């Protein structure tokens, strides 16, 4: 069973986040939604989600894949997170998979 990390930032694109989580969980993957801020996180269209855990508690060793959501200002908020940047570098150095939807590939350019 694959373990997937999805960081969640304020302003996330709802359909790009919720649909990915839903499909992956239905397929049997273990998906962890990790909030870059504490508490309820509001998406770009007002949908509110509560992350499974804090991004600060994430160990990249546990995950096979990391997927970045799009949306604005969600993509900018992911990009501003030092912890997301660190996790991306760790995943890349271990040759683990990274996915980015819509505007999120901008984060990978740096």
67 in active site: no
Given 47, 65, 102, 106, the catalytic residue:
102
- Single out the residue of 42, 80, 34, 22 nearest to residue 59, CA to CA: 34
Q: How far apart are CA 109 and CA 91, in angstroms?
A: 15
| 107's tokens | 């984060």
Annotated catalytic residues are 102
């Amino acid at each position: 069973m694959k373990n997937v990390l999805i960081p969640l930032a304020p302003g996330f694109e709802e359909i790009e986040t919720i649909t990915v989580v839903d499909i992956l969980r239905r397929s049997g993957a273990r998906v962890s939604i990790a909030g870059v801020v504490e508490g309820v996180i509001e998406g770009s269209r007002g949908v509110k989600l509560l992350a499974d855990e804090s991004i600060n508690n994430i160990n990249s060793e546990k995950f096979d894949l990391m997927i970045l959501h799009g949306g604005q200002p969600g993509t900018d908020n992911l990009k501003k997170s030092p912890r997301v940047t660190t996790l991306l570098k760790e995943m890349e150095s271990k040759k683990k998979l990274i996915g980015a939807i819509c505007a999120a590939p901008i984060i990978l350019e740096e």
